Amino acid sequence: MSGELSPIDKAKFVAAKRAADFVEDGMRVGLGTGSTAAWLVRCLGERVREEGLRMRGIPTSSRTAHLAREVGIDVISLDEAKWLDLTIDGADEFNGDLNLIKGGGGALLQEKIVATASDQMIVIADIGKEVEHLGAFPLPVEMVPFGWQTTQALVEETLISMDVLGNNSTLRMNGERPFVTDEGNYLLDLHLNRIGNPRQLSLVLNQMPGVVENGLFMDICDKVVIGFGDGRVEVRDINSGTVEKDRVDFVESDNLFADLGD
């Protein structure tokens, strides 16, 4: 794979590489799900192997758990950890207030549980994920399979009175069958185009019978690490209001790039 990474993949990698520096010896760290989070897991695995970093990872999906074990990270459950020092995860969109849309990878429920059980959440993303208004990316809603069509109709009817530009939804599929989350639920993707009041929408969605959780992450993210294809990295801290700019040396080492398959 050496020399074949796209600018977007390079941006994801440098963001993950920079975020891995926030992990300190002895930490309990929530490990996100998705392509950018997979870079993070590989970077942390390299630190474990080469620096002797002692950490325990709490994965947000079975896919992340498999990769973490593969690269040598000690994996434990959230019940074993009880509380986390830090969660690092990707996002499908983030705005200037560091509110997010997540769930493109199908793990929003576990991701939100783990993130809210952490002292701090850091999001890693390429610059293309930054938006002025959330909603261009379809908003995932996790729902129980029982009566899912009724739940879908209720959601679409409710969207008519919300501050959004669209009210269509689609059931996420895995081939010819519905996509099933690790918790055995279905995902409904809402095509809203623009969400005027994400906090209100999140509250309304979660009050509906049949809805388990939605992909709006409000007031959960503390920092975002933004990667650029040329190796530049920007770290924004919503609590301190600071912006740090850095550069990550991009070396396509065999340790990180030989096993790429996703």
Q: Residue 125: what residue type? A: A
Q: Does 91 appear as a known binding residue?
A: yes
Q: Does 116 appear as a known binding residue?
A: no
Answer whether 211's CB lies under 8 Å from 205's CB: yes
Q: Enumerate helices (H) and strands (E) in the chain, giving the number of each.
A: 8, 17
The overall longest dimension of the chain from CA atoms, in Å, is 55
Q: Does 89 appear as a known binding residue?
A: yes
Q: Does 102 appear as a known binding residue?
A: yes
* 70 counts as catalytic: no
As to burial, measured by CB atoms within 10 angstroms (0-12 exposed, 13-18 middle, 19+ buried), residue 26 is exposed
Answer whether 222's CB lies under 8 Å from 235's CB: no
- What Rg, from alpha-carbon coordinates, does the chain have? 18
Answer whether 228's CB lies under 8 Å from 11's CB: yes
Answer whether 167's CB lies under 8 Å from 159's CB: yes
Q: Does 128 appear as a known binding residue?
A: no
Distance of CA 159 to the CA centre of its chain: 24
Answer whether 118's CB lies under 8 Å from 82's CB: no
Q: Does 90 appear as a known binding residue?
A: yes
The residue among 246, 244, 222, 242 whose CA lies nearest residue 233 is 246
Please tell me which residue in 24, 50, 70, 111 is annotated as part of the active site. Answer: 111
Q: Does 45 appear as a known binding residue?
A: no
Would you list which residues are annotated within the binding site?
33-36, 89-92, 102-105, 129
Indicate the annotated binding residues for substrate: 33-36, 89-92, 102-105, 129
**Catalytic positions:** 111
